[in-house]
Structure 1
Amino acid sequence: MADTTFSQQGDGGLRRDAGKLALLFVSTTSMVGSGWLFGAYHAAKIAGPYAIWSWIVGAAIVLLIALCFAELAALFPRSGALVHMSHASHGAGLGRIWSWLLYLAYAPVAAVETEAVVTYANNYLPFLLKPGGDGTLTITGFVVCALLLLVIAALNLQAVSALMKVNTVVTWWKIAVPLVTVVALIAGSHHWGVWQADPEPGQFDGIFTALPAAGIVFSFLGFRSAIDMGGEAANPGRAIPLAVIGSVLLAAVLYVLLQLAFILALSPGDLANGWASLSFAGDAGPFAGLAAALGFGWVAALLYVDAYVSPGGTGLIYLTGGSRILYAVGETGTGPAAFAKLSKNGVPWVAIAVMWVTGVFFLLPFPAWQKLVGYITSITVITYGLGPIVLLVLRRNQPEAERAFRLPFAGVLAPLAFICSNLIIYWTGFQTNSVLFLLMIVLFALYAGHHHLLRRRTAESFGWGRIGWLLPWFGGMWILSALSDVGGGLGLLPFWPGVVLTAVWSLIVVRLALRAALPAEETARVLAGPEEGFPQDL
């Protein structure tokens, strides 16, 4: 194997056992999970023959955002680096808020991956989902998901070197099976004319609305997993940017090929009632159903096995990444110090336990794969939005800092990445965004009440001046979403004018965020590492 690993102590006692290939596969396996098993089916229902463009656009958007994080990751080679980034740009106040938003973004992913396993298994164990076709778990299905989460948590208690070896084997499998599926579906299809089927009204706009709704953006979200394990990387300055960029490109090739093969494998009868009503035998496990219909029973059997491996591997690494976020929360004092406790294997065992409990909780309000995916996509993309902001702040505050990877034309590409993040939120739809922003308001109110009423701390120490720009950001996005014609909005704002207004508003927010950022000397303290302490807001 070309990967070189060695053991040394990372930040806070974490072991630096992850090499370049290991980190690349960490991000790759985080992406190639349940999204590929279901995304092509849901994208085709929304965008029809244009669905392949949804994956291309999604890959371009996520790659743009990933390039911003690739530069930042080399500056923060620590586990839970996303927490440290937020401290560096706007201080402890934003660091606390972002820590918990990141936690809420990571916590349900392992749960949604177990739901994917159960959804495929329901094809031959038809007591895991309720009848009706909406994917809702039965009591038995819920218990099975909780037990699968427990297995994933137990695997996370192993030493990082052992975890990386398991993940490398799983990732090779997860690359091979989609490629076999692509070849089989294209070779066995006799209905290539479906590719030329006339698009239906609204399907061009569906290229964009499918990004969150079909799980396309969700399928690319895992690129940050390598960043989360920066404190366990043997050569973080070079390994992390390679993993971040390489994983997005690798996953993009797989997803585009899979969508192409899916569309070519459809028969005219599958589309008798139009793309939006696309259905066929076994569509609860879309690729396996198509393979069986084409006479490739062995491919269908392989896919049913992969329905355990792919989501299981993604859930494994996301629980790892989420536990490292909690580790950084404990390390920075953003939350309980117990989160930073390490086991004899050098892993944060308390954080892993908390991730399991939270994952089980998320099975309750979102007991279906697609329902939970919409929430995850929206809140994760919100946390993405901070990356371009931090990049611009650090370029201004620390222009001479050594960067293993330097994003060219950052003054243009970083604001564009922020615009793209907000467009994904906008396209998620008013109903999902309303639930998300309401949750954020409640959590922020609890945090502010704890700070001012229970701890009796001052408004100055809370850092209102540094985080005030969040209100116009989130408030403006909620208003635009309410006026839109997407996902339950009022329909007062047509699709493309909504896109333009979202872009303009994003640039205004960028300006507000830069004005509220920390001075250069405070940013330098955070870059120096945890041993220098984390600055309170001025």
Structure 2
Amino acid sequence: MALGSAIGTGLFYGSSAAIQAAGPAVLFAYMIGGAAVFIVMRAMGEMAVKHPVSGSFAHYASRYLGRFAGFVTGWTFTFEMAIVAIADVTAFGIYMRFWFPQVSQWIWVLAVVLLIAVINLMKVKVFGETEFWLAVIKVTAIIAMIIGGAALIVFGFTAPGSETATGFATLMSAGTLFPNGFMGLLLSFAVVMFAFGGIETIGITAGEAEDPAKSVPAAINTVPWRILLFYVASLAVVMMLFDWRQIDGSASPFVQIFDALGLPAAAHILNAVVITAAVSAINADTFGAGRMMFAMSREGHAPASFAKISRHGVPWMTVVIMSLVLLVGVVLNALLPESLFMIIASIATFATVWVWIMILTSYLAMRRKDKKSVALEREFTVPGGTISAWIALVFMAFVVVLLALSAETRVALYAGAGWLVLLGLAYKFLVRTPQDELASSK
């Protein structure tokens, strides 16, 4: 499930904006961001092994930071999944333009929203099988693309109209790894961290896993090599195959590059793959948001109707809510087809990083509480313990600050601040606390 959400639009389409911002230095951004995300995942894993519950990180925030923190964390994760899903459906519409340039983008967005709603309303087994095969397709395609691209590099393939053979010389076509300076590297983090959004969905499944003490650590421990393979290796190959300065965001950079290399069959195959990846990501986003809303309804942090189960065993109201949210994406794609993706991606980055900050803060609070009680023998721990967690926490806060450096991403801070104020008001006037219930019973 985490792969379904995290390996999708951020890699197959969002990487074009990251490459434009940082050039080859974007590889360092993915490695640095990936290391920080790994610490977040290990912190969540340590808590999940200790307390395996559904909607885990919202539960941990409530347990260690207070009910309001849990309310904010759960709803911000839901907001994150909704915004990421809108970005994913937007990318789906862009991908379809490669084949059908005359068809309006919003039509494809509406079609995929209806498809996802149907899949998520079916039995969980059908949903799981669908997501499994979608994930297999995109993972297999990435590995095949890396192998095929590496073969072109090794055999010195030269693109039509180019005098430069593929390889390190193409990667260094601007004469340096940092063509836009250190600031370019920093600005790329707005998209790089968006690409990792949704990987925390591992925690959502902790309460449903048969043996979370084994399955959660096993899933989390694969994060480093997945990041190196799926993000760093694939983008390194892409930028060695074709001059990265010509990537313009009109299509997936993977598709654009193979099309420019004079390999139309490869471009069409990859376009089919990135479409599959987008559907997989939207599927996982809808599942993650739905399960979080379901868990929050049982905590009293969401309407009780969100806990209603269909005859297929699915919380159907949450699927309806997510479908309505995605229909907003249809309208936005009709109004802002060209500029929507970057706006949505930056807002998603804020929500994603905020959730990670709450996970790290909950972890530090747990360790502080454990230290005051009894020293526990931990089965699954964060490498470097609280020191690593503090470093990751400072980095995440730094990423939020970076959003203010560009006018294109600054809107995320305004939207994020407005969202947090809205949550504060909702909690105050709509959520009944244990003290309220006690007072009303007297």
Pairwise TM-score range, normalised by the shorter structure: 0.7 to 0.9
The 5 A counterparts of 1:45-124 are 45-124=20-99
The letter for the 2-side match of 1:379 is A
Is contact 2:83–2:347 with CA below 8 Å preserved after alignment?
A: no
| 1:171-190 superposed matches below 5 A | 171-186=135-150, 187=152, 188-189=157-158, 190=165
* Cα contact 1:116–1:307 (8 A) shared by 2: no
Task: Report the 3-state secondary structure (helix = DSSP H, G, I; strand = E; otherwise coil) of the residue aligned with 1:179.
Answer: helix
Q: C-alpha offsets along residues 198-223 of structure 1, whole Å, 9 cap, x if unaligned?
A: 236643332232021xx321222222
Work out the CA distance in 2 between the residues paired with 1:337 and 1:241: 32
| More moved, 435-444 vs 332-341 | 435-444
- In the alignment, structure 1 residue 393 sits paired with structure 2 residue 370: no
Tell me the equivalent position of 1:241. 217
Residues 417, 461 of structure 1: alpha-carbon distance in 2 compared, 3 angstrom cutoff: farther
- In 1, Cα distance between equivalents of 2:92 and 2:329: 16
The equivalent of 1:160 in structure 2 is: 124
Secondary structure of 2:297's aligned partner: helix
The verdict on how the C-alpha distance between 1:404 and 1:314 changes in structure 2, with shifts beyond 3 A counting, is farther
**Aligned-residue offset at 1:444:** 3.7
| Structure 2 residue 193 is matched with structure 1 residue 229 | no
Letter in 2 for 1:158: M
Cα deviation per residue 1:103-160 (whole Å; 9 max; x = unaligned)? 21111222221211110111221245xxxxxxxxxxx422431331221122122333
Q: Give the Cα–Cα distance (whole angstroms) in 2 for the partners of residues 362 and 94 of structure 1.
A: 28
In the TM superposition, residue 279 of structure 1 has moved relative to its aligned partner by: 4.3
**CA deviation digits over 1:421-463, x for unaligned, max 9?**
1122122225234322442254045326625xxx8x89x959x
Rounded Cα–Cα distance in structure 2 between residues aligned with 1:38 and 1:95: 32
Are 1:294 and 2:261 counterparts?
yes
Q: Describe the SS at the equivalent of 1:107.
A: helix
CA distance in 1, matches of 2:386, 2:417: 33
Give CA-to-partner distance per residue, 1:363-410, whole Å, 9 cap, x none.
545742222111101111011101111112112224556754122432
Which residue is 1:432 aligned to?
A: 411
What SS class does the counterpart of residue 210 from structure 2 fall into? coil
**Structure 2 vs 1, CA of residues 376 and 298 (structure 1 numbering), >3 Å: closer, same or farther?**
same
Mark the runs of 5 or more structure 1 residues left unpaired by the alignment: 1-25, 129-139, 463-532, 534-538
Would you say 1:350 and 2:317 are equivalent positions? Answer: yes
**Residue matched to 2:429:** 450
CA distance in 1, matches of 2:427, 2:291: 25
Structure 1 distance, partners of 2:386, 2:111, is 47
1:512 is matched with none
Partner of 1:307: 274
Distance in 1 of aligned mates of 2:198 and 2:71:
22
Whole-angstrom CA distance in 1 between matches of 2:204 and 2:45? 12
Partner of 2:17: 42
Work out the CA distance in 2 between the residues paired with 1:88 and 1:423: 26
Counterpart of 1:478 in structure 2 is none
**Equivalence for 1:126:** 101
Which residue number in structure 2 is paired with residue 266 of structure 1?
A: 242
Q: Structure 1 pair 51/403, CA: closer, same or farther in 2 (3 Å)?
A: same
Q: Which amino acid aligns with 1:329?
A: M
Separation of aligned partners in 1, 2:186 and 2:216:
29
SS of aligned partner of 2:85: helix
Q: Go from structure 1 to structure 2 and tell me whether the alpha carbon gap of 1:246 and 1:191 turns closer, same or farther (over 3 Å shift).
A: closer
Q: 1:334: which partner in 2?
A: 301
Q: Does the 8 Å CA contact 1:31/1:251 hold for their aligned counterparts?
A: no
TM-aligned CA deviation for residue 102 of structure 1: 1.9
Residues 160 and 347 in structure 1, CA contact (< 8 A), matched pair in contact too: yes
For the residue of structure 1 that corresponds to 2:198, the secondary structure is helix
Are the aligned partners of 2:242 and 2:257 in contact in 1 as well (CA < 8 Å)? yes
Q: Distance in 2 between matches of 1:153 and 1:398?
A: 43
Report deviation, 1:266: 1.6
Look up the match of 1:376. 348
Query: Please, what is the CA RMSD of the aligned residues?
Result: 2.7
Unmatched 5+ stretches in structure 2 = 159-164, 438-442
Letter in 2 for 1:258: S
Q: Contact between 1:425 and 1:433, CA under 8 Å: does it hold in 2?
A: no
Instruction: Give the secondary structure class of the aligned counterpart of 2:251.
Output: coil
CA distance in structure 2 between the partners assigned to 1:446 and 1:359 by the alignment: 24
- What TM-score results when the alignment is normalised by the length of structure 1? 0.71
Measured after TM superposition, the shift of residue 168 of structure 1 is 2.0
Residue 114 of structure 2 is aligned to residue 150 of structure 1: yes
| Greater percentage in helix | 2
Query: 2:194 corresponds to which letter in structure 1?
Result: F
Q: SS state of the match for residue 108, structure 1?
A: helix
1:330–1:340 CA contact under 8 A, matched in 2: yes
